[in-house]
Amino acid sequence: MNQDETTTTNNLHECEVSGSNGIYKLTWPQLHIIAHIDRIKESSDHEVKAELRFTSTRPTSSGHLRAGRLNLTSPAARNTFAKALLARDSDVDWDLVLEQVSRAVLQEWREGTPVVELDGNMDVLAQSNKWLIEPIIQLNNPTLIYGPGSTGKSWFGQYIAVLADEGMSNGGFNVEPCTVLYLDWETDQVELGSRVTMIRSGLGLSGKSHILYKAMNQGLSTDIERIREICLEHSVGLVIIDSLGSACMGEPESAEVVLRAFSAIRSLGVSALCIDHTNKEGTLFGSVYKFNSARQVFEAKKSQQEDADKLVLGLFHKKANNSKLLRPLGFELGFQENKTMTITRQDVKETELEEHMRVSDRIGNALARFGKMTASEIAEEINKEESHVRKELSNGKRSGRFIHLADRKWALPARLEDEVSRIYQRELEGEI
């Protein structure tokens, strides 16, 4: 049975079914009864249990009728539930109503997503360019940002939440407006509310925001039905998960735990920004399936002077699906005494974070600054082994990125140097 399909058993028991993804509503217009069904679970022996809530607008039984967990595959359980409902309203054939509930929900639940035909005529360009926040969050896909504590990851996530809520393109991001749901395992409503106020002040925004906030104390997959209800009720377009490790609520090295969390994220059918931490070795904490399951992955690093009221956040692109790897994205986070927080674009190559860029990019940066250089001079400048530098120069020569001059020095082609400078300037000005 498809969403919104209607099944007619008899004139008095016409049942309308709507909903999807494990959340359904059955309505009997002539009986003036509504059933809400969610939190569906199927056991290893194929028993399917769900939570049911019956309400009525009938003159004899208006309001809440009964709620409980029912084994939809058990006739005996349905019979017991029907008797309890019969005590509330004896004029309804509750056996028939519950039979309709079981049949409709089981068919929807077990059918899953429909089979479709791939005809090979899809507009590939249109599909690959679908962004909610370009170029970091694809439409209806998860993006992962990970890094050590206190790098500014959460501040950046809240900045993204404000931009999406406001529909404001800023900092080089092209933003589609949407309703944002912030799921928080890390702090509380007061701190998040204060941060949103500070960010909005820094952006010069007036009025109120409409970001939805939910403090979380259990795993995402455990509470996914309620989250899905919120997303459907408010037409949520972006969910921010802070943090992914806490959302998994289990051993982070467990593939099963991580895959269960990402399955829950995908079931929402919305874009997601997942914020996560690093381990003692400085790599992404937990199972490799975190990296594999996200569509875009960025590593966050920071540069901050002692006692400074600002820091530089660098986002280094580690994985891209259906898009190219980006140059490092840099942002200066400034904290003013008037409780205002500003985020502005910063060129990573002009900060201490330059040392975390790819070696080939650092070679390009050095040549852009000094012009002609030997391989040994470049190696000394960027503090890398000369053998490594020579390998990158050789690869760059083949691709046309670097040129080898007659005096054994290396340089950037003039056209490339101009193009690099132009791109960086556009990034700083927020055009890209």
Question: For position 425, what pLDDT does the model report?
Answer: 58
Q: What is the pLDDT of residue 129?
A: 64
Rounded to an integer, what distance in angstroms lies between the CA atom of residue 353 and that of residue 349?
Answer: 7
Helices (H) and strands (E) in the chain, counts: 13, 20
Give CA 178 to chain center in angstroms.
Answer: 13
pLDDT of residue 75: 95
CB 315 within 8 A of CB 300: yes
Q: What is the pLDDT of residue 4?
A: 41
Q: Quick one: pLDDT at residue 419?
A: 54
* Beta carbons of 351 and 312 less than 8 angstroms apart: yes
For position 420, what pLDDT does the model report? 55
Q: Are 11 and 2 in contact (CB under 8 A)?
A: no
Q: What is the pTM of this model?
A: 0.79
Structure-token pair, residue 332 = 């200066």
Strands 142-147, 271-277: pairing is parallel
Exposure b/e, 174-192, CB count within 10 A at least 16 = b: ebbebbbbbbbbeeeeeeb
Q: Give domain 131-350's CATH architecture.
A: 3-Layer(aba) Sandwich (3.40)
Q: Where are the domains of the chain?
A: 6-111, 131-350, 358-428
pLDDT by residue for the chain (432 residues), tens only, comes to: 444 443 434 445 788 998 877 888 999 999 999 999 988 888 888 999 999 999 999 998 999 999 999 999 999 999 999 999 999 999 999 999 999 999 999 998 888 777 888 888 877 666 556 899 999 999 999 999 999 998 999 999 999 999 999 999 999 999 999 999 999 999 999 999 999 999 999 999 999 999 999 999 999 998 998 999 899 899 999 999 999 999 998 887 899 999 999 999 999 999 999 999 999 898 999 999 999 999 999 999 999 888 789 999 999 999 998 788 999 999 999 998 878 999 999 999 999 999 999 999 999 999 999 989 999 999 999 999 999 999 999 999 999 999 998 888 999 987 555 555 565 556 555 555
The DSSP annotation for 41-69 comes to: EE-TT--EEEEEEEEE--TTS-EEEEEEE
Q: 146: how many CB neighbours lie within 10 A of its CB?
A: 27
Tell me which DSSP letter residue 325 carries. P
pLDDT at 417: 52
Chain-centre distance for alpha carbon 272: 1
Q: Is 308 left (phi over 0), alpha (psi -120 to 50) or beta?
A: beta
Residue type, 114: P
**CB environment 92-101: b (16+ within 10 A), e (fewer):** bebbebbbbb
CA dihedral sign of residues 400, 406, 411, 415: negative
353-to-113, 329, 346 alpha-carbon distances in Å: 45, 11, 11
C-alpha closest to that of 423 among 135, 175, 172, 129: 172
CB atoms within 10 A of CB 132: 24
Q: From CA 142, how far away is CA 238, in angstroms rounded?
A: 10
**Per-residue pLDDT at 98:** 95
The predicted pLDDT at position 7 comes to 41
Q: Which CATH class is domain 358-428?
A: mainly alpha
User: What pLDDT is stored for residue 20 in this prediction?
Assistant: 79
